[in-house]
A and B are shown apart, each in its own frame.
Chain A
């Protein structure tokens, strides 16, 4: 580029830039008449460059205009390269024409109704190139941070060294930290690519990128020209290796996090089953439908609040929690009283009957709410993500983990520290003895089943945030839930906890190697084989009670 040939113009630009620096905040907030006047005059001087009909003058005007901060600079420059910039013969006013043919004053941006005779500002390839470059540096000062970041990225992609000064200048003014980082990246990338720069500068740029240590830094380092000096190349490859190690580590941590969040989902889905199946020994194939009922309760609560209390919509999940617990719990108690009670001691029959109940519940929901997915929105505190050491953790996943742990702890407390929990354990351990101590065992059975189902309903609230709320919601969790309980050891809450988290993590660790579906198959087969080895699961109960 003919950049260096025009040093005086660069100087002029710098002066103008300094002017803009001083003026920009003022013009942005509340331009004083005097300042506005000065800016107008300055732009008028620049625009005059277009009226001369000489390429050097036009080129100088382009650069000056880009640096001027004139609000219509972008429109004028685009018009220029599209041959829509004209000069009024009388009065030498510079006008631009929009696509529809209407004219605007380049100085004020005001529409011009009927201009006199005009001549086009002449355009050459050099002019077009200059416009292109100028536009890039213009966007470096665009009002939107995203546009500025994109502009920097574009410069980097093109390895456009001519933009370096403009970028450095823009960097000096920049206040947004994200944009600052993007500008620094681009500057470093340019420094690395600049064969003309001093080796020390380039080494420093490499060191800077190595410190950044993320994927885009790695890409920048890869951009080092192959003919770079030995020392540079060594430094770059060492930095890349370090970044690779770090990225691999991050990917690992991220996978484990995903695994924990999947495990939490499994835990939520299975924890109710750990009570009904694990503690009571009831094979409840309708367990998944309890989860579904909870999810639909969330949906209903959300719709009601949307109608009656739109301001509190963000709290609808909190309102839904107890209601989901109650609705699923009540269905559970009804199921226990009407069906399961008659089938105690016949697990295979229970399995069939509850499967039937699950079909009825599914079809009932399908008839009531329709077969399609219902949308449950994420409250504001669950959208977005949390940045930790360069790893993006989505808030919804973080909350699911927290929520699963909370539910698990609450359940542990209910089992170990309440009188209901005590009675429940007494009935499980020795039904007849418990009965003779005055515990109403049928009552406890119903309540226990209600508790397990209610917790499934609560799980439904959480799952409504990450899964489709449809009549088939429960179906997709039932097999996984049973596997978790069986894998963990029937009757052991901690077993379910460990099983759910380890299955989740294992799944996510296998996934990058084998793909999602294959990972699931591998885990299923692994659990099936594990059960052959330890038919009673990880945390097996010992003793005679197990065999019966």
Chain B
């Protein structure tokens, strides 16, 4: 089979429109927010911009998760940890940027450290006054954690549900650790009360619109990168690992290296998403590490369509839209709906919304082909 050129591969029918829409949104939504007056029908209120921006960072997390779960069969129940670590890295920079404007007015130490009577900045905070260092750490720390964790796990062939359970235990352990004041990351309350980023006030409409645009572009970039990977030769190996890991290994591929690469990359994408998330919501605390958050992210992917990339992003936005609507209108109903979504999607929509649509479009032949290849990864004897 001759492989198509990269540009052609990136223009796949489910990726190109999504990317174009995101780029358009990155340009148009800020204009609609900033240029049109508040009573204009095309005006987008700042609250909506912030909400959309937040969902886009969730979508990026979903794409990262889809990359490992949808294409490599690694169901990580701890991706929220990478997201949160990226968020903490950005949060630490924003804390440093408050400078002497904190409640206690200490020139260097953030408020919570003064409160907990820290004498000096812990070593982990070194360099976080520089934005570039924080941005680097937002990618590096999740990547390093994923690398070490993956190196240990994949090498000893921890797979399937075992891997899921230890990723979950891992994020749980991190949550417990970050709850401790002694760790020096704000304990229970996390990091908050941010003032500005790179000199721009976080409360200003312009900054918020810019953060939205950045999130949209980051998601577009994440989609393109992921698509480039999954359509490359490397991506084919990943799918082969997903569908028959032992067989791929017997064919001579170093399975653990492929997994390690994609897992680390995915963690870095999640870290980027977290770094974009924190300035928009204005807080990061240990509950972001809670295992429930990571599992919820898995549901976004499952709803949108596992192994479709743009479907994962769509799922994240749809589920979060439903969540913010329902928690406002019927707070009791949200967990029922979310729980029902989990069950219904796995039972009736195993390929998610996008997957189902695609199956319909591809017609009977494709469906017949799918029936033989669907879910062969974990067939039980």
Interface residues of A (CB under 8 A from B): 281, 283, 339, 342-353, 355-360, 362-364, 366-367, 475, 479, 482-483, 486, 517-518, 520-521, 524-525, 527-529, 531-533, 535, 545, 547-548
Contact = CB atoms under 8 A, between A and B. Distances in A.
Contacts of B332: 363, 366-367
B347 A535 contact: no
Contacts of A350: 346
A356 B155 CA distance: 32
Nearest to A529: B152
Contact of A548 (B166, B343, B380): B380
A346 B347 CA distance: 11
B299 interface: yes
A532 B256 CA distance: 13
B169 A483 contact: yes
Given A352-B295, A363-B336, A528-B173, 11 more contacts: A339-B347, A346-B375, A348-B378, A356-B342, A360-B343, A362-B335, A482-B168, A521-B176, A524-B172, A531-B162, A532-B152
A321 to B, nearest CB: 28
B164 A348 contact: yes
Question: Which one of B156, B164, B165, B179 has the highest number of Cβ atoms from chain A below 10 Å of its Cβ?
Answer: B165
B343 A357 contact: yes
Contact of A339 (B180, B291, B343): B343
B105 interface: no
A479 B171 CA distance: 11
A355 B295 contact: yes
A266 to B, nearest CB: 14
Given A347-B161, A517-B176, A535-B157, A528 B342 contact: no
A364 B341 CA distance: 16
Nearest to A342: B347
B339 A359 contact: yes
B380 A345 contact: yes
Nearest to B338: A359
A533 B160 contact: no
Contacts of B160: 347-348
A520 B176 contact: yes
For chain B, the bracket of interface size reads 35 or more
B283 interface: no
Nearest to A548: B381
Given A347-B161, A367-B332, A533-B156, A353 B176 contact: no
6 contacts: A343-B346, A350-B346, A356-B341, A362-B335, A524-B176, A548-B379
Nearest to A432: B381
Contacts of B336: 359-360, 363-364
Nearest to A362: B335
A359 B161 contact: no
B164 A517 contact: no
A342 B343 CA distance: 11
Nearest to A537: B162
Contact of A344 (B161, B165, B380): B380
Given A356-B343, A363-B332, A483-B169, A521 B161 contact: no
A242 B300 CA distance: 63
Contact of A352 (B246, B292, B346, B380): B346
B350 interface: yes
B298 A352 contact: yes
Contacts of A355: 295, 339, 342
B335 A517 contact: no
Interface of B: 69, 75, 152-153, 155-162, 164-166, 168-170, 172-173, 176-177, 179-180, 246, 291-292, 295, 298-299, 302, 332, 335-336, 338-343, 345-347, 350, 375, 378-381
Contacts of A535: 156-159, 162
A483 B335 CA distance: 26
Question: Which one of B166, B176, B340 has the highest number of Cβ atoms from chain A below 10 Å of its Cβ?
Answer: B166
A524 B342 contact: no
Contact of A531 (B158, B246, B342): B158
B302 A352 contact: yes
B161 A348 contact: yes
Given A339-B347, A345-B378, A547-B246, A531 B339 contact: no
A517 B179 contact: yes
A471 B246 CA distance: 42
Nearest to B341: A356
Contacts of A527: 166, 169
A45 B381 CA distance: 99
Contacts of A349: 346, 350, 375
A360 B246 CA distance: 37
A517 B180 contact: yes
A521 B175 CA distance: 9
A528 B164 CA distance: 11
A535 B163 CA distance: 9
A230 B161 CA distance: 68
A356 B169 CA distance: 19
A486 B165 contact: yes
A528 B166 contact: yes
B205 to A, nearest CB: 37
A351 B169 contact: no
A367 B69 CA distance: 34
Question: Which one of A520, A532, A545 has the highest number of Cβ atoms from chain B below 10 Å of its Cβ?
Answer: A532
Nearest to A335: B343
A352 B342 contact: yes
B176 A351 contact: no
Nearest to B245: A547
Given A518-B180, A548-B379, A353 B342 contact: yes
B305 to A, nearest CB: 14
A125 B356 CA distance: 96
Given A352-B302, A359-B339, A360-B340, A545 B381 contact: yes
